[in-house]
Structure 1
């Protein structure tokens, strides 16, 4: 029985096992493996997401402050940022001074980890002595400059070295593209971009960029980047536009340099002024000064002498005396003064003229520049009245041109002796600047109305107004425009201008300033200079002030040459400089007179207009006269204006003697067509008839 039961149990076990195996396999076979994988992936991502949130919470909450500080130290730094300095432009937009970016190397000594290694690397990168670099790194302070405004090669070497405690910052280097042109006027800036001389100093508030401490963000390469709406332009300085025309500036500097070198002078200066606007077109000084290398020059070379040096003007001062005398009615152009045969001894002073003159009218006192004649005019005018006119003209005060400017020396009337009045009448005992002289002549050229000089053009391009500030009736601090200040009447101004014309166009002292086809007016000056003892020595200041054309002046040119050794006279040294500058400036602006039309064209034009036969005959007569004028014989000048007649004789090197008064030639000697003779006197009789 027991044997029979055993197999039955085995079979049951096998059946049970079979039933169990079949069920697992059946269940596994029924699993949706695709859904299972999706759930597994979703679960995995859920776990990762939870871990990320846990990490983010740990980073932001637990370690947030520490990591934020690390980020700021790596990418954000607070530094003193100075905006780029504004540019200086001429009237046509030419850049006279601009700033370019440079890199400077600084160090935080307290952050340097290895002083010896850092010093060795920086010494190689910057080509600096090792002891100097080590000393800078060893200082116990938070910041120190190591090298300012280095070139790109050195800056890249420092950047690639990645030294702890060493950094690069942006600074600006001032560049003057025209080098020495207008160097003394422009001036220069120092290492810290601060204006030290000239326009750079005078307009530093406008040109300088804003300095501010900013939190700057940088990328991995160390470049700045900004939030929207912010840029370097926010702190950049403003541009300044001058009235200077660099082409006219070149004309003036070229002529001035040639004169100073030719006559072996110490120094020379020239101003070119547009009469209509008062704009200064050229401000030239020689020897030159290159502000790009200002450290290589002495202060005497970069000194802006035309504004800051006050010198005795000499004979160029005489037109102001004559204008004052005419305005006060104490003289007329024909008033005669005895010139003492060239030597006059007063109670207190001895006066000499360069030539022996007897009786001269006022217009010839000006033409021949008689010191004795001017001294007697001064005595007639008197100290008080003469001094008042000098003050009205701006002498003894700054002109208002915004540069470092001297006031000159003009003592109060109570301090003048008779000798002071006499010497001041011909340009001694007073000291003036070139700017003051230019402004005085500008008043004469402006029909006697004071006109201010202008060096800067406003941002809106507004034209200068001929007004002079006056006390406000409204109250202090309230700006009220004043009427133009008239100093001399129109008649007086024209009389003085006619005398200036005679100085050049007649037999005066300024004949070397003549320009064929253009009527010139001006005044020469040869001023004595005081030596170290205070008395007059051998030094002379040669000068010339000219207006072109004199009938309706367009340009005023003032030239001064200091202590020329080969000739002391302004008519010899300075007048040719005026001629050169005036001629080229007129040509540059297209103001030279057109060439005379051919004779045939003139006849054809008259016939085309249907002119009467007598007019055509007059044209033919003029044509025949021109043939005579070009030949080697005396021209027919009867009926011509005196200026034209004198010009025709002057082209042949002859200066005719004028007799009578008036503006028209009514008789001449010798007769037209006669041969030129060197020892012959040529006389023209004048009358008022036309």
Structure 2
């Protein structure tokens, strides 16, 4: 019995000794930490409970050349409350008033907020969500509510700001306007991101629980990006967008694009792309104008013709025998849709004769095809235009060598066996219109920072003289003749001289199961005698009509007519004054704004307080989105025809 008792006591003493030894070691470790590793563990606690987070800077605004806002960044405000921070006395004395204020703002019963806040107070919730996605006016209002007006340290008021990029005007879609985010870079946003994006800041956040953090302090203020002005002219952009959309719907085409370029500078003043959606409408889903390289068909004949004219082989009145309208060439047949017999080269272009152009190119270049390639490549036909916008395809021009076929040259002459984008074709035509001076397509106009000019971009010349002046003049006359008497004579009008060439190319001809599919196009310039603008219209896979003269040329005519004939040229001063009165507000003596309810144009509210301007615009049926507080300093649309539900974006002074 005694032995058993001794064994039990021995075990007890052993356990006690082990516990004592463990306790002493823990105590010794604590003493060591306090005296030796204090800073190390302070830093560890700091990094565990706090973090340094990047604050994204607001991107700059994107404008059209005429100052119309295309895209902007607005701030949304998320509101939270640190219930633990609020002292009991402050809470009890003001909770009722706070709930009443929240009820009026959010149209929910006050007991809903009372219950939510009381529950948060009991749990000492340090990050209680109160509201998300507030605009500036709502934020400015809520921060003055009872309790919240005591700020972060006493009232527990926590605000988190989010940036949202928004498109401000119709006529631009996701691909043309573009983006720069996790999807990549696209369109204008992607092209000019280096200017638009600012410098991000940093803020300190404190851990609330395993999943939540709350902002404590801004360590480095973010710097907003610069504003970018593009070369786009919204008046012309709207015209091109509407004309293209109408024709796509009428012809039931798959997709299309239209580009308008200023002849003397290469500035792109309109760029629109539309594709049929699954729902049957049309939207900007892909930048066909810049990306889609395809066999152009007969618009390439102007390139072949300039090669002939510049080398002095031929003139507009040189004749060629196109026989019965077809030509047996090696084991293939080249066919025409128009005319037969002996015709001039002006008629070759105006009638769009495949036989005529291929016979002439074969006659003068078949012995040395490299001469032809050298000539057209000197105009940059084989190179990208290197336009600012990303996604441009590389043109395909065959190289003379082992894989060169005997029929390659002839087929090239009328636009088969080569691939070019609409923009690349337009660049050539624009050079012809510009008396042989080839311009780089330009989309970037200037950069500003808070209204101060940072940089202005000048036009870039690719080729000072594409060809002899005589060859250029002859081709311009031949293209004018083509509109007056040729395949595109249906668009002729004595009110505006136009020059250009139709194009009709069969696409996917290797896929026999789909039947015949076509690409219709028209490229030219106006006015023909003193060109100001060049333009290309391309419509793909139309179901109703397929010739360029039927489908694409009418769009060109509509764009040219509305751009040029309705251009406000040298208006008398009194007319300008009357027009100005239509788009400006009427102001009474007490500075209260009133608008004539019969006005048809969006009024100018810049310089007036948002509290007056916003309801005045809304009374006209406009939807107003704004940021800031105070006077209006920027307005997205001024003087445009009012459409019910149209969105107007305002930027206020603070």
Band of TM-score, shorter chain: 0.5 to 0.7
- CA gap 1:238/1:372 in 2 versus in 1, 3 angstroms: same
1:322 aligns with 2:305: yes
What secondary structure is seen at the aligned counterpart in 2 of 1:389?
Answer: helix
Match of 2:444 in 1: 456
The alpha-carbon deviation at position 532 of structure 1 amounts to 5.8
Match of 1:173 in 2: 164
Range with bigger deviation, 451-460 or 79-88: 451-460
The alpha-carbon deviation at position 277 of structure 1 amounts to 1.5
1:413 aligns with 2:400: yes
Match of 1:447 in 2: 435
Residues matched between the structures, number: 458
- The one-character-per-residue Cα deviations of 1:406-425 (angstroms, maximum 9, x if unpaired) are 11212222243221111110
The alpha-carbon deviation at position 591 of structure 1 amounts to 5.1
- The one-character-per-residue Cα deviations of 1:156-201 (angstroms, maximum 9, x if unpaired) are 89x98x9xx99753221111111453543111354x7x76421212
8 A contact 2:204–2:216 mirrored in 1: no
CA distance in 2, matches of 1:454, 1:259: 27
CA distance in 2, matches of 1:148, 1:322: 68
What secondary structure is seen at the aligned counterpart in 2 of 1:397?
Answer: coil
If the length of structure 1 is used for normalisation, what is the TM-score?
A: 0.59
Output the aligned Cα RMSD: 4.3
Match of 2:380 in 1: 394
Residue pairs, 1:448-597, within 5 angstroms: 448-459=436-447, 462=456, 464-468=458-462, 484-505=463-484, 507-531=485-509, 533=511, 538-590=516-568
Match of 1:336 in 2: 319
The alpha-carbon deviation at position 493 of structure 1 amounts to 0.4
What secondary structure is seen at the aligned counterpart in 2 of 1:541?
Answer: strand
CA distance in 1, matches of 2:176, 2:131: 27
The alpha-carbon deviation at position 149 of structure 1 amounts to 7.7
CA distance in 2, matches of 1:288, 1:147: 43
The alpha-carbon deviation at position 346 of structure 1 amounts to 1.1
- CA gap 1:212/1:445 in 2 versus in 1, 3 angstroms: same
Residue pairs, 1:34-183, within 5 angstroms: 78-103=52-77, 150-151=133-134, 169-183=160-174
CA distance in 1, matches of 2:171, 2:326: 46
Q: Can you give the 5+ residue segments of structure 2 that lack an aligned partner in the other structure?
A: 1-38, 83-105, 107-126, 207-213, 448-452, 573-654
- The one-character-per-residue Cα deviations of 1:476-532 (angstroms, maximum 9, x if unpaired) are xxxxxxxx5322111100000000010111x20111222332221111111111246
- CA gap 1:587/1:209 in 2 versus in 1, 3 angstroms: same
Match of 2:15 in 1: none
- CA gap 1:211/1:516 in 2 versus in 1, 3 angstroms: same
- CA gap 1:246/1:529 in 2 versus in 1, 3 angstroms: same
CA distance in 1, matches of 2:299, 2:500: 9
Q: Which of residues 254, 263, 266 in structure 2 aligns to 1:278?
A: 266
Match of 2:296 in 1: 313
Q: Which has the higher contact order (CA 8 A, sep 6+)?
A: 2
CA distance in 2, matches of 1:274, 1:169: 45
1:346 aligns with 2:329: yes
Match of 1:197 in 2: 186
CA distance in 1, matches of 2:493, 2:560: 9
- CA gap 1:369/1:531 in 2 versus in 1, 3 angstroms: closer
8 A contact 1:181–1:288 mirrored in 2: no
Range with bigger deviation, 440-449 or 581-590: 581-590
1:302 aligns with 2:298: no
- CA gap 1:572/1:103 in 2 versus in 1, 3 angstroms: same
Q: Can you give the 5+ residue segments of structure 1 that lack an aligned partner in the other structure?
A: 1-64, 109-124, 126-143, 290-295, 469-483, 595-690
What secondary structure is seen at the aligned counterpart in 1 of 2:501?
Answer: strand
CA distance in 2, matches of 1:403, 1:241: 14
What secondary structure is seen at the aligned counterpart in 2 of 1:384?
Answer: helix
- CA gap 1:316/1:593 in 2 versus in 1, 3 angstroms: farther
* Structure having the larger proportion of residues in helix: 1
Range with bigger deviation, 493-502 or 563-572: 563-572
